[in-house]
Amino acid sequence: MISVIGMGPGDAGLRTQTAQTLISQADVLVGWPRLLADFPDFHGEKQVLNADIDGLIHWLHTKTDQNVVVLASGDPLLFGIGKRIAEHFPKQTCEIVPGISSVQYLFSRVQLDMNDLYITSSHGKQPDFDFIFQHDKVAMVTDKAIGPFQIGQEVLKRDLNRTLIIGENLSYADERIHFLQPEQVQRDYDMNVVVILNERQ
Ligand SMILES: C[S@@+](CC[C@H](N)C(=O)[O-])C[C@H]1O[C@@H](n2cnc3c(N)ncnc32)[C@H](O)[C@@H]1O
């Protein structure tokens, strides 16, 4: 069985009991180094994820007789590894276990509702900012190429009124949350989620 498990934003206390149980019963743990590092005492096989997702899928097909746990950050089906894996395995051999996404976590921290929220990602793609700014409340998971600074510049280019809430290293000891106007956004932030808010809606 392959279990794709949502690990939440980082803090182990935010993981589900189901996630903990499946990890403790796993023969194989697969994940990015940041997530695998949480299990130094795991004695089964560990497989480090890399960008070769086709290779991962191929390899997983050779492992369906074992308990394989794929660690996914946040929620597996929110811009995560869950989508690709679910597309390639029937439900009898693959389960997806939800987790608290970094987006949900940030909204809880700032006590803002997620009603009518548009959620998107800049990971490895050029976002359609004209479409994005048609929404009053947007959450974006980002990457190094397009993050808070680039989002701020796109707001300024269009002369829009938006507040950016930037959540860095969410749930970790060095978590930082900033409420900024676009012109105040710095060039560099650690791993982050950005909320783009039209407060004049
Ligand atoms: C591939 S996406 C996965 C999103 C994940 N499935 C989720 O539900 O949070 C990775 C991006 O999620 C965001 N992210 C994940 N964990 C985070 C955290 N602890 N703090 C800030 N951003 C985080 C960052 O934008 C990161 O680049």
pLDDT in tens, 152-168: 999 999 999 999 999 99
Count of positions (residues) in the chain: 201
Q: What is the mean pLDDT of residues 44-56?
A: 93
Q: Are 76 and 30 in contact (CB under 8 A)?
A: no
- The whole-number pLDDT of residue 124 equals 86
- The whole-number pLDDT of residue 169 equals 98
pTM above 0.85, yes or no: yes
Q: What are 89's two structure tokens?
A: 């395995």
pLDDT digits (tens, 9 = 90+) for 4-48: 999 999 999 999 999 999 999 999 999 999 999 999 999 999 999
Q: How far apart are CA 77 and CA 161, in angstroms?
A: 31
Q: What is the mean pLDDT of residues 66-72?
A: 97
Asked if residue 120 has its Cβ within 6 Å of ligand 1, the reply is no
What's the gap in Å between 105 CA and the centre of ligand 1? 10
Helices (H), the chain: 17-24, 33-36, 53-61, 82-88, 102-110, 129-132, 148-157
Q: Are 182 and 149 in contact (CB under 8 A)?
A: no
Asked if residue 164 has its Cβ within 6 Å of ligand 1, the reply is no
**Second CATH level (architecture) for the domain 103-197:** 2-Layer Sandwich (3.30)
Q: Are 5 and 69 in contact (CB under 8 A)?
A: yes
Q: What are 165's two structure tokens?
A: 């809430």
Domain ranges of the chain: 2-100, 103-197
pLDDT digits (tens, 9 = 90+) for 79-91: 999 999 999 999 9
pLDDT digits (tens, 9 = 90+) for 118-138: 999 999 889 999 999 999 999
Q: Three-class SS of residue 116?
A: coil
Looking at domain 2-100, its CATH superfamily turns out to be Tetrapyrrole methylase, N-terminal domain (3.40.1010.10)
Name the average pLDDT for the chain.
96
Give which of 67, 73, 74, 80 is closest to 121, Cα–Cα.
80
Q: pLDDT at residue 201 above 90?
A: no
Asked if residue 73 has its Cβ within 6 Å of ligand 1, the reply is yes
- The whole-number pLDDT of residue 198 equals 97
Residue of 38, 78, 102, 143 to mutate, ligand 1, most atoms within 8 A of C-beta:
102
Measured by CA distance, the residue closest to atom 16 of ligand 1 is: 9
- The whole-number pLDDT of residue 108 equals 98
